[in-house]
Every structure is written in C-alpha cells, then in structure tokens.
A and B are shown apart, each in its own frame.
Chain A
C-alpha cells in the first residue's frame, strides 16, 4: 500500500535529518529514510568541527546562516549537542603562509565577510599557548567551535521524529520513480509517495542523481581521524594548519581528536573502510612537532567515515535542473557538518516557499548541467 506524505527525504545524515526537522517546523509531514541508522556514516563520525573558517566563498552564506542556528541549537533540539564555541584558529607555520592568510582575509573583507580575522604571533600564542614558537600568526574565526557529531545527528533525528516526521531506519530507499505527479520510493515492503523528494544520501547520493539523469563528478572518500586518551587540558580552540593536512581539537574530557583529511580506502558496499596507518603517521609526526605536550599521549582509536566529495569541493545544493519536486543536498566534500543545521533550514525554505534569502545559487546542480527545463 502506498502512503502519501508531504516530502520524502533520502539519507539520515545531519543534512537529511535537519531538512526533515525544518520541513516539520514549516508544517509538513515528511518521511526520512536511512539505510543504516541516522549518523552511521560521515555525519556521526566526523571531527565535529563547527567551522566558518577557511571555507570556499560560494558556501560562506550558508555557513553563516548555519552558525546562527548552532548558537541556539539547544532551543531547536532540546539537546546541547556538546556544542562549544572557543573559536577555530588556522595556524601559519611561516611568513609565506601568513601572507596567504593576509590576502585571504582581505578578499573576504572586500566581499563583506568579517568572520575571519588575521592574527599575529602574540594573539596566536594567547589563543593557542601550546603551539610551536616558530609560528608567526594565522587567522581566527571567533564564533566557531565544535560539537559531538553523533550526538548532534541523533538529536536532529529525534527532534524530527517528535515533530511528526516518519523515520525509517535500517532499510534502503529503492525503486525511486516519478509518476502521476508524485515521487514514489519503496522502503522494504512499504511505498511512500510525495510531491517532493530530497536526495541527501551522502556518499550514496551520486548514484541516485545519476539514476535520475543528473550525473555529477563525485567520488567516495573516507577521511581518517584518531583520538587519544585523556591528557591535561592545554588548548581551547580548534586548530587547523594552513600548509599541512591537520586539524586538532581537545574535548572538555581531555581527549584529543586529530584529523585533517588523510584518506582511508572506503568499501561502500560493505560499509567499511581500511585505514592507512602510514598516512596517519604523517599526522602524528605533525602533532609531535607542533605540540610537544602530546608526545606521550596514547591513541585509542582511529576511524574513517564514508562521504561524497565533489570534483570542485563544494556541495550540490538546491532544486534539480531536470525534475520537478526533486532537490539535491549532498557532496559536502569533507566540510558538511557545520552546514547541516542551516542547509536544512534553507532547503525547507526552497521547498515550501520556492526561494530563500540565503545566497546558495552557486551550489546548484546546474553548474554541471545547463538547465534543460
């Protein structure tokens, strides 16, 4: 039997869950379909960075919109998501890197964005006392921070359910088709139909888009992370490096998360990743050099989440260029977590109002397909 709903959201990552929640807030009754469970992949196991810093310019408006939601996340979700705002700092390791930072901040200022601020060695040392003496400065985004990704994605899913979304976990959406003015999707023995379909299937979204005639240049990647046992508190902000692949964050319980984008080998069909310890060793060497305090810490776990990376490193976000009622929300290319809350809000506006005040036009799928409608 086919059950009619207002919207079908495929994918229970932070994006799908946020969109489902915001559709509920707008008075719609969506169904959220997740083949595993909400937050099983990249959304639940990423570094948890809530970062406006160092973003591609086309996604900055969405990031700023999202930041406003993060700062009131408890009001929205009735859960603090362990969100903490101690800023994010990009460290320049030499003068050359610092001059790139200077140019970047000037470019943003010229466009009217003021969230990134150039800092000198003194301010860098004040924010990150443990950093190596040789670093001459960097950039700070003071409102940035970090949250617990699994807790956050789970909280979005839970709130969406409380507000009326139907949630189906553990069964994949299949047989996606459009007929009689409605999108139809099978979920096990059930079939859902709705005028709106949101493709938020993360690493699996490229296949859905391609099957619907909108292939895009996307690959599946699995960025690796590792976490240490508890060490005495020594750092507040999240630190990323300008010149090397490293991100670094100490949680309030003392554990330290080390990431930065070295990749594991994903096995999408098995939901597995094979770690590359020789690349993780590069991260370990960088931390060893920059944060001597970390040398005796023990690594208790390393992992990688499976996600989609676009060729141009910016997401596919907005209406389909071919089909009525189809919307894409995927390809966040290793930096989608912070965007989740805002992207859900904007997607709901696009669906319900047909437009939004937030500038997202540069993220559309039509950048790969000239509109043919």
Chain B
C-alpha cells in the first residue's frame, strides 16, 4: 500500500533507497530530523540490493554475501522514524528544493530544507550495430529479473562487454541454473598496462579476492573470448546471431539473447534538471556532479551520495550517504550531530571503500568503438537517429547536443536523452575535435519521468488559486 507524503515539508528528503539512500535516511532520522525517503521501486535496495526484502532466491550463496548486506541497512532504517514511500516517482526537483512526486497515480509537492539525491547509476549505452533488436537487452535488466523473480535465460545466451557487474551477473545466472553459451570480453588489452600502476591498491582492496574468485567460477563453466574488438547483433526483427572479432579473427554465433554491459554511469537526470553543475569525468567517461567533500552540490541544499555522485560501488555509497546526511544534520541541528560517527571517521571509511576504484575504472574503461558508433548504427532509439545522421548535422553546423535538436530530434522523444545522451556528447566531441566538456550535454528539464496530463490536471490547486476562488 502506498500513500502520499504525510507532510508538506521535511527537514531532509532523500531520493532513492539504494545503499546511499538507505544509509542517509537512517542517519538523518536517527539524529531526529524529519526525514522522507522516496523510492521508485516496490521495495528498498536499489539495483544492488534489489528485492532485498522480497526476493524468492533464498539460498544466500546464489546472490552472494555482498547482496545480503542490504538487509542490515534496511533493518537499520526500520528502527528509525523515517517516513519511507515506495513506488514514488520523483519527477521534478528545483533549486528552491520543491519536489514533485507521483505516488499511486497522484502527484504531490513537498518542500525540503535539505535534499539528498541517491539516484544511483544507469548502465552505459552500448550502441553497436543491432543493439535495438528484440533479444538484445542490458545485463542490468537481466539482473533485475533474476533478483526480483528468479528468472534466468534458458535460450542460447551470449553476454558481451566488461566490468565487475558483468562477471557478477554471469556467476548469478550460472548459480541459478541459467544458460550462458559464450562471454565476449571487450576489455581493451592496453587497459591492463594502464591499470598496472594502480594494481597495488586494488590487490589490497576487498574487490580483489572476490572478483578473482568470481571470474574463475564463471570461466570454469563458460567459454570466454577475451580481446573482442568488434561486436554486432543481427537478425530479421529478432536477434538471430552475434558477430565479433577477437585477435583479428571474425566469428558469428547463433543466439536468442544477447546481454550487453560496459559499466555503469551516474544517473544525473534529476540533479541536472535541478541546475546542479556537472563536469565530464575523463576516467569514468561520464558526467559527474561537482561536489564538496560532504557531497554538497552547486545548488544550495542539494547533496548527492552514492553512484549518482560518481561511480564508487555499494560500500562507498553507504558511507557517502552517511556523510551527506551528517552534513545535513550539522547544517540544520548542529547539536544533534554529536551522536553520529564523526566526519573524520566517515572519511576514513570512505577512503577504505574507494580503495581499488582507480584500478577498476582504468581497467574497465570502455573502448572508443563501443561508445562512439558509426554509420547506420542507431544512436537515439526514440527518434531513430543514426550516427551518420548526427555527423551530417555536425557537418552543416550543429555544435552540441542542444543545437542538434534543431537538426534532428535526438533526445526529444519519451526518454529525453536518458539512453542516448552520453553517446551524442562523445560522438559530437569526436566529430568536432573537442572535449566532451566543451561539447556539453542536453539541458534536462522536468518532468524527469513522464507523467500523464490527467495526473497533472489533478494536482492540488495552489493557495493563490484557492484564494482567488474564495474571493469570487
């Protein structure tokens, strides 16, 4: 049962109930601040701890020990007075800290003194020829089905891409009895050398032994092709085969399902639409918000924690959530901060949690040919704009993603650039010989998620309207 927020104003509103949001809301409520946690999913956990309170998967080994950490976070939050609303879609946030949220088909507005955005990550677009065919999906979508419904692929399945999550998903599918025919690893060979200087930190991080064990587990059961330099999907109206080149040799294999994944990037949509300044991160190859050491953004009162602040993983997300919440407590009720862990202790925790990250970011930095498509490969799915279309527009004067709208409708469809934004920025940057920072990104506006006209028409009238009616 989902209900609208109980109050019109809160000390702290946290958006997103993944690791960062759960930790932030618990910290804020524990310090006695009125706290509202809004989350789009049916239960807490975000993507990493998806369905933590409801998953039908009961054998703890199948999803791994790291998954079940989420249960403790949920438990910690439940002992506080924080108000938690699931199936709550925040569709607008502005610099006055006014939040519009849709719950059960009805929208409400709430005001906050502090907003902590914990909107997590999105999978990076993987625009290869044929990526829009039915039968091609993201690894994240497959993992959602696995965690919430214990569904695993049973047809001829190929997983392609790179990054820790790809191996985790493969291991989870195999443990649940799913089928994987081949894994195509697109990690660039040169990345191993580039990552080497950062290897010591990684070797001493918690990621190392777990990651190695997982890769071994998968490689024992599935044929893994490494050094894949080209990739495409083909089929008539439905995926039929996957072609790839590795070590200069092309191979084509029949497939019913292709799962693509080349890492995750911060989900910046709500933050950008609120006017938060972002910068291009040249290592993680994505937009990240400009934040101070406590997660405060360029918009007064808005802090960002978790992967939405720059990819750091679940452990770092929890600590960043606590840091952002502690900063909010310090700002609103300084005396109440005394009972929370000190900022120094939290920052030490964060440094530990972030250990090894540079190694992973360097090793799993996706290769240009998998980020920047060419020719007839679709860039913008909503409006069916190809890479060639974008380049043609650049040739006659389009200078950036916003200007491109005057030539092609890229980013103007239902997804508003959520699926094509990074591709468009990098493609235009390459074509114009500029940096992504110089090229910029779509100007994002609310509603960040679509709402129906009927729902907007039904929002409560403003006080001014009501008064006007009373006066007659």
Scoring B residues 396 to 409 as 1 if CB is less than 8 Å from chain A, else 0, what string do you get? 11011011011101
| Contact across chains for A277 and B96 when beta carbons are under 8 A apart | no
* A interface list, Cβ under 8 A from B: 37, 39-40, 44, 148, 150-151, 153-154, 158, 169, 228-229, 253, 270, 272, 274-275, 277-282, 284-285, 287-288, 294-303
| Contact across chains for B453 and A294 when beta carbons are under 8 A apart | yes
Considering the complex, give the chain A residue whose CB is closest to the CB of B451: A299
Across-interface contacts of A40 in B (CB, < 8 A): 402
**A338 to B399 alpha-carbon distance, docked (Å):** 25
| Contact across chains for B445 and A280 when beta carbons are under 8 A apart | no
Considering the complex, give the chain A residue whose CB is closest to the CB of B464: A278
B37 to chain A minimum Cβ distance, whole angstroms, is 22
Across-interface contacts of A277 in B (CB, < 8 A): 92, 100, 109, 446, 456, 459
- Indicate which residue in A37, A148, A150, A278 contacts B459 across the interface (CB closer than 8 Å): A278
Judge if B58 is at the interface, Cβ distance under 8 Å.
no
Question: Top 5 nearest A-B pairs by Cβ distance?
Answer: A150-B406, A278-B462, A298-B450, A284-B456, A288-B457
Judge if B79 is at the interface, Cβ distance under 8 Å.
no
Known A-B contacts A158-B396, A301-B447; the reply to A150 vs B454 at CB < 8 A is no
| Contact across chains for A280 and B275 when beta carbons are under 8 A apart | no
Across-interface contacts of A154 in B (CB, < 8 A): 397, 403, 406-407
**A17 to B416 alpha-carbon distance, docked (Å):** 28
| Contact across chains for A299 and B456 when beta carbons are under 8 A apart | yes
B202 to chain A minimum Cβ distance, whole angstroms, is 41
| Contact across chains for B461 and A148 when beta carbons are under 8 A apart | no
Known A-B contacts A299-B447, A303-B445; the reply to A284 vs B453 at CB < 8 A is yes
6 pairs across A/B with beta carbons < 8 Å?
Answer: A39-B406, A151-B407, A274-B94, A275-B446, A299-B456, A303-B445
**A140 to B398 alpha-carbon distance, docked (Å):** 37
A74 to chain B minimum Cβ distance, whole angstroms, is 16
Dominant secondary structure at the B interface:
loop
| Contact across chains for A295 and B453 when beta carbons are under 8 A apart | yes
Judge if B59 is at the interface, Cβ distance under 8 Å.
no
| Contact across chains for B445 and A281 when beta carbons are under 8 A apart | no
Considering the complex, give the chain B residue whose CB is closest to the CB of A300: B450
Across-interface contacts of B413 in A (CB, < 8 A): 300
Considering the complex, give the chain A residue whose CB is closest to the CB of B450: A298
Considering the complex, give the chain B residue whose CB is closest to the CB of A256: B453
Q: Specify which of B412, B454, B457 lies most central, judged by the most chain A CB atoms within 10 Å of its CB.
A: B457
| Contact across chains for B453 and A299 when beta carbons are under 8 A apart | yes
Considering the complex, give the chain B residue whose CB is closest to the CB of A279: B462
| Contact across chains for B450 and A299 when beta carbons are under 8 A apart | yes
**A296 to B446 alpha-carbon distance, docked (Å):** 18
Across-interface contacts of A279 in B (CB, < 8 A): 462
Considering the complex, give the chain B residue whose CB is closest to the CB of A169: B399
A206 to chain B minimum Cβ distance, whole angstroms, is 24
